[in-house]
């Protein structure tokens, strides 16, 4: 009888020790602080970043994808000899407009008197305006403005040069708008995706950095006899 009681006690002791070992460790005050601080930082980063990439701000699902340095260089090449007013449709963080205006008038390649950025995402418009202020000393000629506006409600007829960094689903509708709005001497510079039916007068670059240039003659496609 005593041996049975002793065995039962040993088993209870082992179970008790096992339960103690299996319990999760308790967080110290310092650990709780570090964990809370990490969650707070992650929330701040998420809150700042999400407005920049959220496509829901746009009529067409057009996520924010910054232009590459090579794409910008190709745009500058295609602007050679151009002048007048320029608009960037879906201007994002404003880097294309600012790059054009910082190079404006250099070596007399092009002379843009006015450059506007049109963007639906209000956070990107604010960031573009901040970037304009930050680079204000690098822009020696011409005016720069950024607007929160739908590109399809923008009068393109006042611009001599139009730049668009679009997606495939955007280009067909834009093509229809350009048939009415594009000036007789105006040009469209399309980045990443070409217009579906117009024939470009110039293509610059390769791969994702390629840009296509269109004017009024581009509407006469090779299918027309």
Share of the chain above pLDDT 90, in %: 60
What is residue 17's three-state secondary structure? Answer: helix
Which one, of 168, 164, 155, lies nearest residue 61 by Cα? 168
pLDDT beyond 70 at 140: yes
Which tokens go with 223? Answer: 């299918």
- What integer pLDDT is reported at residue 6 of this predicted model? 52
Which one, of 165, 21, 7, 25, lies nearest residue 93 by Cα? 165
What are the pLDDT digits (tens) for 18-47? 554 455 556 676 655 555 555 445 444 434
What integer best gives the mean pLDDT of the chain? 80
Element (H, E) at 53: helix 29-53
Q: Phi then psi for 89, rounded to 5 degrees?
A: -85, 120
- What integer pLDDT is reported at residue 65 of this predicted model? 77
pLDDT band, very low/low/confident/very high, at 222 (cuts 50, 70, 90): very low
Dihedral (Cα; 146, 49, 172, 154), 10-degree rounding: -20
For residue 86, list its beta bridge partners.
115, 161
Domains of the chain: 2-53 (no CATH), 69-219 (3.40.50.150)
Which tokens go with 115? Answer: 């450059």
Summarize the confidence of residues 107-121 as an average pLDDT.
Answer: 90
Q: What is the pTM of this model?
A: 0.72
pLDDT beyond 70 at 15: no
What are the pLDDT digits (tens) for 186-201? 999 999 899 999 999 9
Question: Locate tokens 């950025």: which residue?
Answer: 117
For residue 174, list its beta bridge partners.
none
Q: Are strands 202-204 and 211-214 parallel, antiparallel or unpaired?
A: antiparallel
Cα torsion angle, 178, 205, 91, 102, sign: negative
pLDDT band, very low/low/confident/very high, at 170 (cuts 50, 70, 90): confident
């Amino acid at each position: 009888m005593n041996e049975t009681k002793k065995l039962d006690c040993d088993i209870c002791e082992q179970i008790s020790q096992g339960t103690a070992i299996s319990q999760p460790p308790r967080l110290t005050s310092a650990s709780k602080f570090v964990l809370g601080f990490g969650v707070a930082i992650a929330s701040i980063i998420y809150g700042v970043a999400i407005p920049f990439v959220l496509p829901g701000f746009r009529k067409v699902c057009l996520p924010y994808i910054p232009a590459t340095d090579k794409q910008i260089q190709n745009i500058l090449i295609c602007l050679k000899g151009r002048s007048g007013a320029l608009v960037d449709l879906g201007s994002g963080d404003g880097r294309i407009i600012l790059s054009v205006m910082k190079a404006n008038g250099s070596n007399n390649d092009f002379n843009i008197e006015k450059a506007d950025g049109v963007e639906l995402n209000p956070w990107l418009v604010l960031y573009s305006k901040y970037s304009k202020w930050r680079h204000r000393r690098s822009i020696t000629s011409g005016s720069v403005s950024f607007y929160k506006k739908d590109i399809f409600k923008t009068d393109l007829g006042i611009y001599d040069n139009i730049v668009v960094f679009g997606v495939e689903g955007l280009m067909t509708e834009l093509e229809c708008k350009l048939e009415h709005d594009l000036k007789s001497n105006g040009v469209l510079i399309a980045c990443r995706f070409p217009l579906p039916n117009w024939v470009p007068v110039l293509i610059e670059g390769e791969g994702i950095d390629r840009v296509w240039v269109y004017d009024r003659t581009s509407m006469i496609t090779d299918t027309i006899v």
